[in-house]
């Protein structure tokens, strides 16, 4: 449920009317009591109408998110805002917490997770509506990344592949949608091959002997080649 903050303009207006109009009338002549009552009813009606509008805005101020895993990289997730905002609102401010220690202020961020798992992703936003009103809301969702088990693989060939963690400091682990060892090649930015071997699902390859930097990891089943960028930190 969105939270709405109401400016106290009308409350101040009522007190000013009471001091400048209603109180003098009452002090002058009691015959003007009816006029005083009418003014009181008008101001109260305005306050009630204003609050009713606030509740309507509150109902239209809701946070929600869309989560889509990248078709080529199971650790890359695309997030976007999918909630409701009041018409005519402006100055949208949103913040994402991806559950792995990383945050973003983008409206539609892409986030690369370092390793598979389940993460509690939270999103909060604030909007200036105008007319003394603003609203904010937040929501959280458990997001699972890096799980490629269960993908239909009718031909038995390589269709999906990734490794984790990334960035890496010592060893990387592989996952693919085939139940066989894949040939793995690692190349530096100049295209020189610095590693060549085989690895099966969740099997580790030690890369600690390589210099820190950016590498290209290549996996193949002999029919298809998939490449992924690796960042080696020292």
Q: Of 1.10.150.300, 3.30.1440.10, 3.30.300.30, 2.60.40.3080, which CATH number belongs to 161-232?
A: 2.60.40.3080
pLDDT at 87: 66
In terms of average pLDDT, the best of 33-37, 38-42, 72-76, 141-145 is 141-145
Please identify, in words, the CATH class of the domain defined by 65-145: mainly beta
Q: Say if CB 8 and CB 15 are below 8 A apart.
A: no
> Which residue do the tokens 């989560």 mark?
67
* Mean pLDDT score, 160-171: 89
65-145 and 161-232 in the same fold: yes
On whether the CB atoms of residues 165 and 115 are closer than 8 A, the answer is yes
| In the predicted structure, residue 193 carries a pLDDT above the cut 50 | yes
Q: What letter does residue 211 receive in the DSSP assignment?
A: P
Give the closest residue to 148 by CA, choosing from 163, 161, 164.
Answer: 161
DSSP letter for 30, please.
G
pLDDT of residue 112: 92
Query: Tokens standing for 114?
Result: 């370092």
Q: Give the pLDDT band (50/70/90) at residue 121.
A: very high
- Helical ranges in 117-203 per DSSP H: none
Q: Per DSSP, what are the bridge partners of residue 134?
A: 5, 128
Which element (helix H / strand E) includes 172? strand 171-176
| pLDDT for 45 | 44
Is 0.85 surpassed by the pTM of this model? no
Could you read off the pLDDT of 57-112 as tens digits, one per residue? 445 678 889 999 887 788 899 999 887 776 665 566 789 999 999 999 988 999 99
| Structure confidence by residue, pLDDT tens digits, 173-186 | 988 888 889 999 99
The larger pLDDT score, comparing residue 51 to residue 90, is at 90
pLDDT band at 125 (very low <50, low <70, confident <90, very high): confident
Question: In which order are the strands placed within the sheet that holds 161-164?
Answer: 161-164, 171-176, 204-206
Domain extents in the chain: 3-59, 65-145, 161-232
């Amino acid at each position: 449920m969105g939270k709405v903050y109401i400016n106290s303009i009308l409350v101040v207006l009522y007190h000013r009317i009471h001091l400048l109009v209603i109180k003098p009338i009452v002090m002058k002549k009691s015959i003007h009591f009816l006029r005083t009552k009418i003014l009181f009813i008008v101001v109260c009606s305005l306050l009630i109408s204003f609050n009713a509008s606030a509740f309507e805005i509150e109902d239209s101020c809701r946070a929600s998110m869309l989560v889509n895993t990248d078709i080529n990289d199971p650790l890359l997730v695309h997030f976007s805002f999918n909630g409701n905002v009041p018409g005519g609102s402006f100055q949208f401010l949103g913040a994402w917490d991806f559950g792995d220690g990383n945050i973003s202020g983008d409206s539609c961020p892409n986030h690369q997770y370092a390793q598979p798992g389940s993460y509690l992703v939270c999103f909060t936003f604030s909007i200036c509506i105008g007319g003394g009103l603003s609203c904010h809301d937040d929501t959280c969702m458990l997001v699972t990344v890096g799980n490629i088990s269960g993908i239909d693989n009718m031909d038995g060939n390589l269709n999906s592949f990734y490794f984790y963690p990334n960035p890496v400091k010592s060893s990387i682990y592989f996952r693919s949608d085939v139940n066989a060892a894949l040939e793995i090649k690692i190349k530096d930015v100049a295209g020189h091959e610095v590693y060549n071997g085989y690895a099966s699902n969740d099997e580790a390859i030690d890369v600690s002997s390589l210099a820190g930097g950016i590498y290209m990891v290549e996996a193949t089943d002999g029919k298809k080649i998939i490449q992924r960028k690796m960042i080696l930190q020292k």
